[in-house]
């Protein structure tokens, strides 16, 4: 059993939890994820690690309340326990010091896994900027926290309630058109958003890493549910990823596979199904 030591509602559909998980906190790195089960009969839900504190032995997760299991998780309060908290899983992101600035691009809850990656780069001495997108102002996540280490925090909202009216790609294209130079782009968010980020960065020859979140069951590569095509080869997001070279990802195939159980799953209520 794993104790919830902190719970924070970020908006009406997204919450943050800090879980006491000593073994995970000791080993986890940016880019990795965990699988959580709320109770003994619960389904296995993969969630990217948003933060960790080795001294306090805690791991932070951020999740969108979208279906049965995340609704059950949302009913838990500080001091309650979750049944399983397995990890760290996946390959840590390859983050190295560079004199060239890195631009991060986050759509919706994609800000959660992007946060530790950019913070790690900043701690290594790499200059970083970030673009955060959301349907409206309340769905722009972690902007104040990114300001602690990012040189520039750009915001895009669909309705123009905060920052630039439009998509994250609108801001990214504008920055590149103005002559901003970056050594790498890290994009995390809905598949359609990441696909469209690559459409912007490919002509600029700006190397782009993306984080894939296909259907995942066991997190060990045994079930094969999370297979994706990268560079013409079959990869498993849980053990080969979740981060991959965005220029090599077959996004169209990923989106088809992700929609195979659309009728059985939730319908997104915060507008992340559309182009970003």
Instruction: Give yes or no for residue 223 having a pLDDT over 80.
Output: no
Instruction: Give yes or no for residue 260 having a pLDDT over 90.
Output: no
Instruction: Give yes or no for residue 31 having a pLDDT over 70.
Output: yes
Q: Exposed/middle/buried for 149, CB within 10 Å: 0-12, 13-18, 19+?
A: middle
Mean pLDDT, range 238-267, rounded to an integer: 79
Instruction: Give yes or no for residue 271 having a pLDDT over 60.
Output: no
Cα 124 from Cα 118, distance rounded (Å)? 10
Instruction: Give yes or no for residue 22 having a pLDDT over 50.
Output: yes
Cβ contacts of 181 within 8 Å, gap of 6 or more: 100, 101
CATH number of 102-258: 3.40.50.80
Instruction: Give yes or no for residue 233 having a pLDDT over 60.
Output: yes
Residue linked to tokens 């002509």: 203
Model-level pTM? 0.88
Task: Pick 104 or 275 by higher pLDDT.
Answer: 104
What is the predicted pLDDT for the residue at 200?
Answer: 96
| 164-210 confidence digits (pLDDT tens) | 999 999 999 999 999 999 999 999 999 999 999 999 999 999 999 99
Tokens of 81: 């326990």
The class of domain 2-89 in CATH terms is mainly beta
Domains of the chain, residue spans? 2-89, 102-258
């Amino acid at each position: 059993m794993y104790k919830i030591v902190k719970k924070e509602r970020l908006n009406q559909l997204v919450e943050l939890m800090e879980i006491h998980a000593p073994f995970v906190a000791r080993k986890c790195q940016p880019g990795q994820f965990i699988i959580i089960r709320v109770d003994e009969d619960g389904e296995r839900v993969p969630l990217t690690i948003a933060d960790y504190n080795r001294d306090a032995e805690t791991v932070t997760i951020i999740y969108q309340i979208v279906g049965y299991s995340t609704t059950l998780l949302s009913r838990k309060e500080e001091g309650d326990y979750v049944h399983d908290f397995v990890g760290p899983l996946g390959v840590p992101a390859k983050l190295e010091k560079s004199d060239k600035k890195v631009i991060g691009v986050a759509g919706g809850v994609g800000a959660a896994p992007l946060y530790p990656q950019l913070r790690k780069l900043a701690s290594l001495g790499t200059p970083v900027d970030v673009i955060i997108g959301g349907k409206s102002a309340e769905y722009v996540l972690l902007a104040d926290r990114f300001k602690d280490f990012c040189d520039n925090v750009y915001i895009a909202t669909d309705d123009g309630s905060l920052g630039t009216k439009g998509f994250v790609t609108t801001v990214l294209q504008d920055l590149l058109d103005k002559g901003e130079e970056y050594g790498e782009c890290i994009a995390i968010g809905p598949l359609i958003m990441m696909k469209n980020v690559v459409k912007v960065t490919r002509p600029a020859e700006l190397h782009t890493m993306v984080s894939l979140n296909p259907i995942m069951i066991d997190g060990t590569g045994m079930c094969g549910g999370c297979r994706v095509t990268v560079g013409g080869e079959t990869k498993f997001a849980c053990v080969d990823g979740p981060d991959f070279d965005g220029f090599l990802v077959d996004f169209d195939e990923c989106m088809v596979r992700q929609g195979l159980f659309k009728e059985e799953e939730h319908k997104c209520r915060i507008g992340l199904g559309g182009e970003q």
